[in-house]
Structure 1
Amino acid sequence: MFLIAILVVVAIAAEIIHRLNPWKKPEPAYEELVAQIKAADWYRKLAEDDVCRDILENDPHVQAFFPGPYEAQRLLTQEGYQLGLIDYVTEQAAKRKRT
């Protein structure tokens, strides 16, 4: 029981130190993340096509890929997440072009 109490106190102290860390870099604003996404090479390649650009700007499913800072950061850093968005946009563009 004593060991559990010590572990709880250490965990609380570590969380307080983590939150009050003055050297921690602040997280970028959501608008900055979206600007970085739109400046990425893969996004610009998609936006070159008019149909894909329309899907990127107006499709609610595309907006669901980065509704907040966590998802936007994920879209910038994780290639698999990027490929998911690219596949969705190209698939929707192919459907629009067929009709």
Structure 2
Amino acid sequence: MRRTREVLVHALHYAVVRGELGSHPLQKIPGRFPKPADSVYPRVVATSHQARDPLDAVSYAGGDRRARGRRLVGFFAGMHGTGALLRCA
């Protein structure tokens, strides 16, 4: 999103320089991005016992011949591990 905004801002600036626009229309709009959270509220991260059952359930997605369930288990386990690490920090 930041890159898209930068391209738009530069294109509008170029249009002002060439005389196509009288003034830069985005200078009146504040463009601040929210800061990302540095920590995670511990009560929203599942414990390992709470995360085990959904991981077992998602492992059956896609049947036996497809690896979709295994990929989903890896994906969600990684998300849970990241949340647990941030919870400890």
- TM-score normalised by L of structure 1: 0.27
Of structures 1 and 2, the larger Rg is shown by 2
- TM-score normalised by L of structure 2: 0.30
Task: Give the structure with the larger helix fraction.
Answer: 1
